[in-house]
Amino acid sequence: MSLIVQKFGGTSVGNTDKIKAVAERVLKYKQQGHQMVVVLSAMSGVTDQLTGYAKAVQKVPALREMDMLLSTGEQVTISLFTMALKEVGYDAISLLGDQVSITTDEMHTRARIKKIDTELIRKHLDEGKIVTVAGFQGVTVDGDITTLGRGGSDTTAVALAAALKADACEIFTDVNGVYTTDPNICKAARKIDRISYDEMLELASLGAKVLDIRSVGFAKRYKVPLHVRSTFTETEGTWVVEEEKIMESMLVSGVTYNKKEARITIKNVPDQPGIAAKIFLPISDAGIVVDMIIQNTTTGDMTDMTFTVIKSDYDRAMVLLEKLVKEIGAECVTGSEDIAKISIVGVGMRNHSGIASTMFHILSKEGINILMISTSEIKVSCIVEEKYTELAVRALHEAFALDKANLPIEEKEPVPSNEE
């Protein structure tokens, strides 16, 4: 008997028929003798509808009230889902974040989980119940409802799996798993059977939308085997596991792109100690997230500072910086929204040199100019002009032979699948 945490997203529980179908699916696992904890998101569309209401009454909705509002979405789903389980004869109970209790910090609309009590869940599991838990929500020590931000239900599921020491955490979604790249722009994209936590972390941070990055971080820290798979098919998806459990890794596991960033350059900044802080503190105080930062010394005591921000923060950042440029005695600020970040990710890079230069070579062969470069131990990212996105992705996918399957896998799946 295993303890399995399963999470179903909004499209999986988008209406009452889908809720019933998911209940049937969960039952199959229960009938195999597993203890089941099911984390659910709000029905698709509900969060947007509620957000629309909020903006209709307050231009910038108060964050505490926003959490009070949005957390109702998951509450509706878990109660309906529990009814659906009871209708087919299984005992079940729904629990809210504060009932569990999933304690978070007080950062409303983007709270972080601090602590999870497992006592109540264990009690219900031991009584043979299927426990359904509202995703995306928690509670502060003062009893205020918080939410974990978009994609927060993934985090709830993985955090619960970690706290419960579950045998696996399965994330059911509307795609079949993690792909070597976006199948929409590269037909040769292939589903990855197994990927390491580190690779998945890079992919998630680079724009792959299949998993919330915090949930992968949780999974890595607590070694929770994570299975990303489709709600609508019975086939296996992608297992996100420890690197040691993958016998032979590809040099490059995936190619990803992100069109959501914009590039900003401050020209001729006086190159003094503390200048970076003078620029980035006000930006961070304004809640603007900066991704890549590159500093090039140009002439003598001047330097160019280039960085990327989320496009939706671009206008705000430019207004702020135009003021700042004068204060710090820089020449001017320029920027562009027509850029894309193309990245390759793979733990194989750790042991093989030359992957980055291969990437630069492939892009150059296609006539694509690289505007910025950033590397980590297991990824290389290049900023290019946005119009080259699809071309770059396809060229890299082919050059690194990502359409070829992984080598055989070392061990069996930790959780029996429910395939017949």
Indicate whether 193 belongs to the interface with its own copies (CB under 8 A): no
For its own copies, the closer of residues 16 and 364 by Cβ is: 16
Q: Answer positive or negative: Cα dihedral of 188, 6, 75, 205.
A: negative
**Shortest separation between residue 270's beta carbon and its own copies, angstroms:** 43
CA distances from 169 to 4, 41, 164, 392, 409 (A): 6, 15, 11, 34, 20
Indicate whether 68 belongs to the interface with its own copies (CB under 8 A): yes
Indicate whether 94 belongs to the interface with its own copies (CB under 8 A): yes
**Shortest separation between residue 27's beta carbon and its own copies, angstroms:** 14
CB 261 within 8 Å of CB 341: yes
Q: How far apart are CA 220 and CA 173, in angstroms?
A: 20
Whether the bond between 343 and the residue before it is cis, its omega within 30 degrees of 0, is no
CB 72 within 8 Å of CB 108: no
Residues 41-60 that bind its own copies (CB under 8 A): 50, 53-54, 56-59
Which helix (H) or strand (E) is 56 found in, with range?
helix 46-57
Indicate whether 305 belongs to the interface with its own copies (CB under 8 A): no
User: Going by DSSP bridges, is the β-strand pair 379-385/339-345 parallel, antiparallel, or unpaired?
Assistant: antiparallel
Indicate whether 129 belongs to the interface with its own copies (CB under 8 A): no
Indicate whether 111 belongs to the interface with its own copies (CB under 8 A): no
**Shortest separation between residue 21's beta carbon and its own copies, angstroms:** 11
Indicate whether 93 belongs to the interface with its own copies (CB under 8 A): yes
Residue 406 CA, distance from chain mean position: 23
**Shortest separation between residue 91's beta carbon and its own copies, angstroms:** 10
Q: Answer positive or negative: Cα dihedral of 49, 53, 54, 58.
A: positive
Residues 142-181 that bind its own copies (CB under 8 A): 143-145
**Shortest separation between residue 38's beta carbon and its own copies, angstroms:** 14
Q: Using CB under 8 A, which of 3, 83, 310, 324 touches its own copies?
A: 83
Q: How far apart are CA 296 and CA 408, in angstroms?
A: 45
Q: Which residues pair with 103 in a beta bridge?
A: 115, 139
Integer-rounded Cα Rg, in Å, for the chain is 23
**Shortest separation between residue 103's beta carbon and its own copies, angstroms:** 14
Q: How far apart are CA 12 and CA 395, in angstroms?
A: 34
For its own copies, the closer of residues 88 and 401 by Cβ is: 88
CB under 8 A: which stretch of 140-148, 167-175, 204-212, 293-301 binds its own copies?
140-148
For its own copies, the closer of residues 15 and 233 by Cβ is: 15
Q: How far apart are CA 238 and CA 170, in angstroms?
A: 10
| Greatest pairwise CA separation for the chain in angstroms | 77
* Residue of 81, 82, 86 lying closest to 17 (CA atoms): 81
AA letter at 318: M
Indicate whether 20 belongs to the interface with its own copies (CB under 8 A): yes
Residue 266 CA, distance from chain mean position: 30
CB under 8 A: which stretch of 2-10, 76-84, 178-186, 275-283 binds its own copies?
76-84
Indicate whether 287 belongs to the interface with its own copies (CB under 8 A): no
**Shortest separation between residue 260's beta carbon and its own copies, angstroms:** 28
Q: How far apart are CA 392 and CA 361, in angstroms?
A: 11
Count residues binding its own copies (CB under 8 A): 40
CB under 8 A: which stretch of 79-87, 111-119, 157-165, 178-186 binds its own copies?
79-87
**Shortest separation between residue 42's beta carbon and its own copies, angstroms:** 10
**Shortest separation between residue 68's beta carbon and its own copies, angstroms:** 4
Q: How far apart are CA 172 and CA 40, in angstroms?
A: 10
Query: How many residues are there in the chain?
Result: 420
AA letter at 248: E
**Shortest separation between residue 82's beta carbon and its own copies, angstroms:** 5
Q: What residues make contact with its own copies under the rule CB under 8 A? A: 16-17, 19-20, 23, 50, 53-54, 56-59, 61-62, 64-66, 68-69, 71-72, 75-76, 78-84, 86-87, 93-94, 96, 98-99, 143-145
